A and B are shown apart, each in its own frame.
Chain A
Amino acid sequence: MIRIRNLNKRFKEKSVLNAIDLHIKEGEVVSIIGPSGAGKSTLLRCINMLEVPTDGEIYANDRLVQYKSNSQGKLSFFSKMRLTWLRQEIGMVFQQFNLWPNKTVLQNIIEGPCVVKKIPRDQAELKARQLLQKVGLLDKINEYPTSLSGGQQQRVAIARALAMEPKIILFDEPTSALDPELVHEVLEIMVQLAGEGMTMVVVTHEMNFARNVSTRVLFMEDGRITGDGSPEELFGNPSPRMTRFMRSLEQFKPEEKSALREKDDAYAAHASIVHGY
């Protein structure tokens, strides 16, 4: 479904992704885990061209994604015009939800189908109601996003992605911006989607999701995929670097962890002192 060959991404001199090769098959639920700064989000964003690779080939449904960047490293105007097919097939859920605040929940969901796919409004609305039912927010249909909690906003964002009927959905740390007690409501929907056979790629720090829900786990560090396999393989027989990563997740309290995650170097230094690496 998604085939990536020798993908590289550099920001100025800094190499963020290094010769990535990856093949995501239909129906797979792939979790990407790893320390921050490893390039997880960048890889995810390269798949739907929100981030333009420096070089490398990406095939979506066996169709080559042709891209060109402009002088500022963004997608060139003509590539943007031509790549709308790719984005219609690939849904995306963001860490910060990114709902449009000037539109109601319903308008947020039907915007894509109506504007991009030119689906008649009443049909799109019917579909939106079904999706809202699915994420349990039918009663909020005419609310504005600002009046919803983070978890509710993220569920609307998932419904918005689903409304385009994508073949694959990318999740960029979908629960990282949520209060701890709201995480489960979003995860439940993701579990449900996975159960329905949706192809998903999830960048996550939720180890339980990676371990129990996903069919495949990728461990990334320093812009490379260094672990790739089923959750049993990876968590059952972790590499030394992954052991260290797992242990650092468990050792700190969440608040401490997120504060330290801000600065990866400090985090690594701290971890090495605590664990004696």
Chain B
Amino acid sequence: MNWDIIDNYGPIYLSGALTTLKISLSVIFCATVLGYFIALMRLSSLRILRAVCFVYVWVFRGVPIMLVLFWFYYATPFGLNLTAFVAALCACSMASAAFKSEIIRAGLMSVDKGQLEAADAVGMNPFQRMVRITIPQAIRLIIPPYINNSVIILKESAQVSIITVPDLMLGAQRAYNSTFSVAETLGVAGVLYLTMTSGIMLFQAFIEKKLRMNKGG
């Protein structure tokens, strides 16, 4: 075993991990916002909105992220010129939004109709009802699948290395290309990935406790 790589490649690993974290959290945020609106549109009474979002989800859930990444980076639409990081952010966000929207839609639909009627009956408008009644209850329900999907987003962010975003995976590749100690270099990357995903899982435990999800109400 050759552990010198930690001394030699430590900074590359760290900056790579930071990039991974940055891109994952940005993607989770963007995909959630985008996914929320897609979910709302899929529940809309307007057929055209429902159709557009159905097609969106159908396409982005069905094609590999890698394909979307290439498409955004090497064949950017409208002649735009994106940096690798921005292209990766857009591609991953749009692909993940399809999954997030389905999770959020399930949450929004799960809220008991009677409770929404009760909100209507006290005179709440649709926005107040959404913020005060629907979202707080939907969140409880979707936390497990939502966090699940967020962990997957962080792991899948390793794919952005193929369009040269200097993330943790790319750092690890560089390290083993020059040292040829595959087990150690990838081992270190694995530990760093595991640390970051553990962070998300700890957050899940914290939020579930905070929302009293264990008390079944």
* A interface list, Cβ under 8 A from B: 48, 50, 70-72, 74, 76-77, 80-81, 84-88, 90-92, 94, 96, 98-102, 111-112, 115-117, 144-146, 157, 160-161, 164
A146 contacts B217, C-beta separation under 8 Å: yes
Known contacts A50-B121, A146-B217; is A116 also within 8 Å of B115 by CB? no
Q: What are the interface flags for B45-73 relative to A under an 8 Å C-beta threshold, 1 for contact and 0 otherwise? A: 11100000000000000000000000000
The answer to whether A91 and B121 touch across the interface, beta carbons within 8 angstroms, is yes
Contact of A81 among B126, B140, B215 (CB under 8 A): B126
Main secondary structure of the interface of B (DSSP, over half): helix
Complexed CA–CA distance, A164 and B47 (Å): 36
Instruction: Report the number of A-B residue pairs with Cβ-Cβ less than 8 Å.
Output: 85
Q: Which of A71, A94, A98 contacts B45 (CB 8 A)?
A: A71
Q: Which residue of B lies closest to A81 (CB)?
A: B125
Asked whether B209 is an interface residue with its Cβ less than 8 Å from the other chain, the reply is no
Q: Please measure, in the bound complex, the distance between the C-alpha atom of A74 and the C-alpha atom of B215, giving whole angstroms.
A: 34
In the complex, how many angstroms separate the beta carbon of B99 from the nearest chain A beta carbon?
Answer: 26
Across the interface, do B118 and A102 meet the contact criterion of CB distance under 8 Å?
Answer: no
Interface residues on B, range: 20 to 34
In the complex, what residue of chain A is closest to B211 when comparing beta carbons?
A: A102
Q: Kindly identify which residue among A50, A102, A115 contacts B120, using a CB–CB cutoff of 8 Å.
A: A50
Asked, given contacts A70-B45, A98-B114, A100-B118, whether A116 binds B123 with beta carbons under 8 Å apart, the answer is: yes
Please judge, given known A-B contacts A111-B122, A115-B124, whether A101 and B217 are in contact too, CB under 8 Å.
Answer: yes
Interfacial residues, chain B to chain A (CB-CB below 8 A): 45-47, 112, 114-115, 117-126, 128, 132-133, 136-137, 140, 215-217
* B121 contact from A70, A77, A87, A115, Cβ within 8 A: A87
Partner of A160, one of B122, B140, B216: B122
Assess the B118–A74 pair: CB atoms within 8 A.
no
Are the C-beta atoms of A98 and B123 separated by less than 8 Å?
Answer: no
Q: Please, could you name 24 A-B residue pairs with CB atoms under 8 Å apart, sorted by A?
A: A72-B45, A76-B45, A84-B124, A85-B123, A87-B121, A87-B124, A91-B121, A91-B122, A92-B118, A94-B117, A94-B118, A94-B121, A98-B117, A101-B217, A102-B136, A102-B140, A111-B132, A112-B122, A117-B123, A146-B216, A146-B217, A157-B118, A160-B122, A164-B122
